[in-house]
Amino acid sequence: QVQLVESGGGLVQPGGSLRLSCAASGSTSSINLMAWHRQAPGKSRELVAVITNNGITSYADSAKGRFTISRDNAKNTVYLQMNSLKPDDTGYYYCYVPTGYTNYWGSGTLVTVSS
């Protein structure tokens, strides 16, 4: 069993920045990949960024150049630094961790980009 708790969401103006955190607990030895997904109002959930246990990263086209995913394996935590935020970035952001046993999702943290 793995539990994921996201934090760091909030209200920010266009052009601003936020840093999201996702702390994992439980059977953390089974964790390899860690990723961030988001779901905007009226849209399907989509992948934003992913990082392997070796630090290899991939990003959605909409996130490249603005977002940075990182992790601290000692703390079992993955981060998403979001810069130059746009209104289209608004939505719930979810931490996602697949394992050999099952897939785990956090409950989400809300990011609202608005003036």
pLDDT for 100 equals 83
**Residue 52 and residue 78 in contact, taking contact as beta carbons nearer than 8 Å:** no
Measure the CA–CA gap between 76 and 72, rounded to whole angstroms. 6
pLDDT for 33 equals 95
- Plot region of 84 (φ>0 → left; ψ -120 to 50 → alpha; else → beta): left
pLDDT for 101 equals 81
Which own/partner pairs from 14-17 qualify as long-range (CB within 8 Å, at least 24 positions apart)? Answer: 14/85, 14/86, 14/87, 14/113, 14/114, 14/115, 15/84, 15/85, 16/85, 16/113, 17/81, 17/82, 17/83, 17/84, 17/85
Point out the residues of the chain with pLDDT beneath 50. Answer: none
User: At residue 44, what is the residue type?
Assistant: S
For residue 25, list its beta bridge partners: 3
Q: Which residue has the tokens 């719930």?
A: 92
